[in-house]
Amino acid sequence: MGSKEVIIKKIVLLGDSGVGKTSLIRRFVKNQFDDNYISTIGARVTKKVVNAAFDNKEVEVKLMIWDIIGSKGYQSTQAKHIAGSDGAILMVDLTNSGSLDSLEKYWIPLLKEVTGGILPSMLFTGNKKDLISPEEEKVMIQLFKELEEKYCDDLKSRVGGGYGGSILTSAKTGEHVNDGFEFLALSMLAANPYLDPLHRQIGVAKAKSIYESDERATTRSVMDLIVIELPHLVKSTTKATEILEMCIARLGFSKELPKPKDVRNFVDCVLFHASKEGATQENIEEFRKKWLEPLTKMG
């Protein structure tokens, strides 16, 4: 028997902070659940292989799963990480109606902007199924079907009758978690079996445009600037994420509504650890000036 074909696909998880994106990934990849909430800042990338039967052959789909910051106002960072995605899991907390509203008000428009209006394979996911009643579940299923009809009609025609564009999951119990990722893997194979270089180039160009056009007029947009540029300073996305999370935890402020003083302290913390990672003093001062300059207008 010949070896299986291996296809690499990038998935990005989109949704507000607290909907359970990190927990869903942990359940899928490690079959574990942790009640402790850890807010993502920057991005974490996890890998897992899904075996799929497609086009009369067995395929190994190597999923590169991107867990990105869920706070609104960090569009440069989010756009950069969305760029080049083959699939997107758009996720809500079934106990929080606001997270459902956010899909059409924030996440889908951002996804459309980055992809030039050509949406990738999508899976609408309602998490925390274990916390809602059977009656509430019926209502949510209908709402998700309406989202499918609105945004996934073209995908359904390409994938065929077996396509499922929405699912209700529980990261806590594991219910339907694997099913969701497997649905998305199959839809990505049917929609675009191989990476489309032009599609990736469009995403990168759109993300760059969002980054360059942001006037950094709010404290969140300054935080966004730090998050997107720190990997360049320390020459490592993984190390940058570690530094960002360490400084947020140490300083204890909310990344949702940071005060100018909080951001200044954050800059000091981030640059201190960047210097320990080998960043030159010249580069440290260059980034310090760039990050602090917008704050002078905020008090």
**What tokens were used for 192?**
């675009």
Same domain for 127 and 236, yes or no, is: no
User: Computed from CA positions of residues 196, 201, 202, 206, in that sequence, does the dihedral angle turn out positive or negative?
Assistant: positive
Could you report the per-residue pLDDT of 77-112, keeping only the tens digit for each? 999 999 999 999 999 999 999 999 999 999 999 999
Could you report the per-residue pLDDT of 205-227, keeping only the tens digit for each? 999 999 999 999 999 999 999 99
Same domain for 61 and 158, yes or no, is: yes
Domain boundary (198, 228, 245) is at 198
Indicate the SS3 state at residue 165: coil
Residue 128: give the domain boundaries: 5-198
Q: How many residues are recorded in the chain? A: 299
| Residue 208 forms part of a structural domain | no
What whole-number distance in Å separates Cα of residue 263 and Cα of residue 253? 9
Same domain for 97 and 153, yes or no, is: yes
- Segments of 21-142 assigned E as strands: 43-54, 57-68, 87-93, 121-127
Same domain for 183 and 220, yes or no, is: no
Same domain for 142 and 71, yes or no, is: yes
Same domain for 278 and 168, yes or no, is: no
pTM metric for this prediction: 0.91
Could you report the per-residue pLDDT of 16-70, keeping only the tens digit for each? 999 999 999 999 999 998 776 667 788 899 999 999 887 788 889 999 999 999 9
Sheet holding 5-14, edge to edge: 43-54, 57-68, 5-14, 87-93, 121-127, 166-168
Same domain for 121 and 227, yes or no, is: no
Counting the structural domains of the chain, the total is 2
What whole-number distance in Å separates Cα of residue 97 and Cα of residue 137? 13
Domain boundary (165, 198, 231) is at 198
* pLDDT of residue 170 exceeding 70: yes
Same domain for 254 and 188, yes or no, is: no
Name residues whose C-beta falls within 8 Å of residue 146's C-beta, 6 or more positions apart in sequence: none
Same domain for 94 and 242, yes or no, is: no
| Residue 204 forms part of a structural domain | no
Mean pLDDT computed over every residue of the chain: 90
**What tokens were used for 115?**
């992809």
Domain boundary (168, 198, 228) is at 198
| Residue 205 forms part of a structural domain | no
| Residue 34 forms part of a structural domain | yes
Amino acid at site 290: K
| Residue 211 forms part of a structural domain | no
* pLDDT of residue 141 exceeding 60: yes
Longest Cα pair distance anywhere in the chain, in angstroms?
Answer: 68
**H or E stretch covering 124:** strand 121-127
What whole-number distance in Å separates Cα of residue 38 and Cα of residue 225? 21
Three-state secondary structure string covering 210-238: HHHHCCCCCHHHHHHHHHHHHHHHHCCHH
Residue 254 near residue 213, CB atoms below 8 Å: no
Q: Which pLDDT does position 1 carry in this prediction?
A: 46
If we measure between CA atoms, which residue out of 211, 222, 271, 207 comes closest to residue 244?
A: 271
**H or E stretch covering 122:** strand 121-127
Same domain for 59 and 160, yes or no, is: yes
* pLDDT of residue 187 exceeding 70: yes
